Amino acid sequence: MYPNILRHPGPTPIPKKVELAMAQNMISHRSEEFVKLYRETTERVKPVFGTKQDILLLPSGGTAAMEAAVVNIASPGDEVVVVTVGAFGDYFVSICEKYGLKVHQLQKEWGEACTKEELGDFLKPLSNIKAVFATYNETSTGVLNPVGQLGEAVREHSDALYIVDGVSAIGGAPAEMDEWGIDILVTGSQKAMMLPPGLALLSVSDKAWKVIESNGSAAAYYLNLLSYREWAEKGMTPNTPAVSLIMGLSAVCDLIDEEGGFSKTVERHEVMKNMVRKSMNALSIDLLTTEENASPTITAIRTPEGLDLASYIGHLKKTYHLDFAGGLGPLQGKIFRFGHMGYCFPSDILEAVSLMEAGLQDFSYPFEPGAGVKAAQEVYLSSLRKS
């Protein structure tokens, strides 16, 4: 009866308009209707990536798109650099190692971002690096890496391809793939893109296409990007695509238009980020990341002092139907994660902070009830006055 308030890092809530779009009558993936849908939708989604390149749609999760980015450009023995700042950076390491690449890992503490200088210093002594991999938004820590600046470091110190995992960022965070020199940018549907899981979006620079073309040994069949490119020219995909999710993606593009364009969507995420952060400050609850590295889509909140975290987030779920995610790996028990991406609005932040406060009262946590909500309101009101 009570709705679950899903404030997870993904999957995230689906707009009614998207649900209904996905429930349209099924069409053949070899029909004119599909070609029209495919061409229009992949064109409309380009601003979300900040690219003039084509957007490819894979019927898979974001992880498969990350794997596609690896397997299409590299061969066993190739040397790559992976910047890791959390669990999802480690994914790239695992994928590269699975394919026999030699990985130079620039590993940062969980909760920190990587700076341009650090990446520059790391790249300086290395040569023959095929690609540099980085995570834009580290879902496990709520760190937004400065991928634009990291791209400068890549260009200054190497000829490597620059490959970015945009899962949990793209759709909520600003992205300028072309301007930032990103050669492959990938994301999944179920985070800030307001869709159910099952569709991966991916874009490839001209430079990366040249590498892919010459990389004859690419082992993958389903994830063969040349085959996706070949079929995309006809407005289709090599195998049966996730038709209903593409119908949903078209509705997502409508919603972004309704909001006033993607820059407005980015502004909303920025407001929500600030609402969450200011409210936690007001409650004297610590955040994992600094202001500078803070993600606009997810905030990692440290366990309020003296509280048993599992009991607290279990209580929020059970009593208030407020669904947060815990910490991963070394941060388990130390943080919880508040997702504020995709189909999420300032009103949702006020709701969640209010319920968090109610839960804190249940645990007799010492704080001034209303203080968190008040701080969040102030951010919201101030953003409305500006716009």
155 is in an annotated binding site: no
In this chain, which stretch among 12-20, 113-121, 263-271, 346-354 interacts with its own copies, using CB under 8 A?
12-20
Contact 365, 307 (CB under 8 A): yes
Contact between 168 and its own copies per CB under 8 A: no
Query: Which span sits near its own copies by CB under 8 A: 38-46, 147-155, 242-250, 305-313?
Result: 242-250
- For residues 89 and 107, what is the distance between their CA atoms, to the nearest angstrom? 9
Return the DSSP state at 341.
-
**Under the criterion CB under 8 A, does residue 142 sit at the interface with its own copies?**
no
- Binding of its own copies by 170 (CB under 8 A): no
> Does 186 participate in binding its own copies (rule CB under 8 A)?
no
When binding is defined by CB under 8 A, the residue of 38, 49, 99, 262 that contacts its own copies is: 99
Per-residue CA distances from 15 to 9, 19, 195, 291, 362 (Å): 16, 6, 8, 30, 32
- Write phi, then psi, for 100 (nearest 5 degrees): 75, 20
Q: Which of 148, 198, 235, 369 binds its own copies (CB under 8 A)?
A: 198
310 near its own copies (CB under 8 A): no
Residue 246: CB minimum distance to its own copies, A: 10
| Structure token digits, residue 131 | 């690609």
Amino acid identity for residue 137 in this structure:
N
Which lies closer to its own copies via its Cβ, residue 228 or residue 365? 228
| Kind of pairing between the strands at 129-135 and 79-84 | parallel
Stretch that binds its own copies, among 49-57, 108-116, 243-251, 349-357 (CB under 8 A): 243-251
111 binds its own copies (CB under 8 A): no
Measured CA to CA, the distance from residue 91 to residue 271 in angstroms comes to: 30
Burial level of 106, CB count in 10 A (0-12/13-18/19+)? buried
CA neighbor of 79 nearest in space, from 98, 66, 96: 96
Give one word for 56, left, alpha or beta, with left for phi > 0 and alpha for psi -120 to 50.
beta
Binding residue for its own copies (CB under 8 A) from 37, 147, 199, 301?
199
CB 116 within 8 A of CB 85: no
**Of 41, 60, 141, 377, which one interacts with its own copies (CB under 8 A)?**
60
- How many residues does the structure list for the chain? 387
Q: Is 220 in the site for its own copies (CB under 8 A)?
A: yes
26 is a contact residue toward its own copies (CB under 8 A): yes
Among 41, 244, 293, 303, binds its own copies (CB under 8 A): 244
Q: Does 94 bind its own copies (CB under 8 A)?
A: yes
Whichever of 76 and 261 has its CB closer to its own copies, that residue is 76
Q: Figure out which of the listed residues 143, 173, 192, 223 binds its own copies, where binding follows CB under 8 A.
A: 223
Taking the C-alpha atoms of residue 280 and residue 277, their distance in angstroms, rounded to an integer, is 5
Ranges of beta strands (E only) in 196-295 are 200-204
Cα three-residue angle 154-159-163, rounded to 5 degrees: 55
Q: 58, 29, 54: which is closest to 222 by C-alpha?
A: 58
Residue 367 in contact with its own copies, rule: CB under 8 A: no
Q: Amino acid letter at 323?
A: D
The answer to the question of residue 120 lying near its own copies (CB under 8 A) is no
**Strand residues in 145-237 grouped as ranges (E):** 161-165, 184-188, 200-204
Of 152, 323, 351, 378, the one binding its own copies (CB under 8 A) is 323
Strands (E), 278-383: 298-302, 322-323, 325-326, 335-339
**Smallest separation (angstroms) from its own copies to the CB of 278:** 26
The closest of 126, 32, 130, 10 to 78, measured between CA atoms, is: 130
* Residue range at the interface with its own copies (CB under 8 A); choices 7-15, 173-181, 303-311, 366-374: 7-15
For its own copies (CB under 8 A), the number of binding residues is 53
Task: Using the rule CB under 8 A, give the single segment among 38-46, 63-71, 179-187, 346-354 that binds its own copies.
Answer: 63-71
Task: Choose, by CB under 8 A, the member of 50, 241, 346, 372 that binds its own copies.
Answer: 241
| Binding-site residue set for substrate | 337
Residue ranges in contact with its own copies by CB under 8 A: 3-4, 6, 8, 10-14, 19-20, 22-23, 25-31, 33, 59-64, 67, 94-95, 98-99, 188, 190, 196-199, 219-224, 239-245, 323, 325
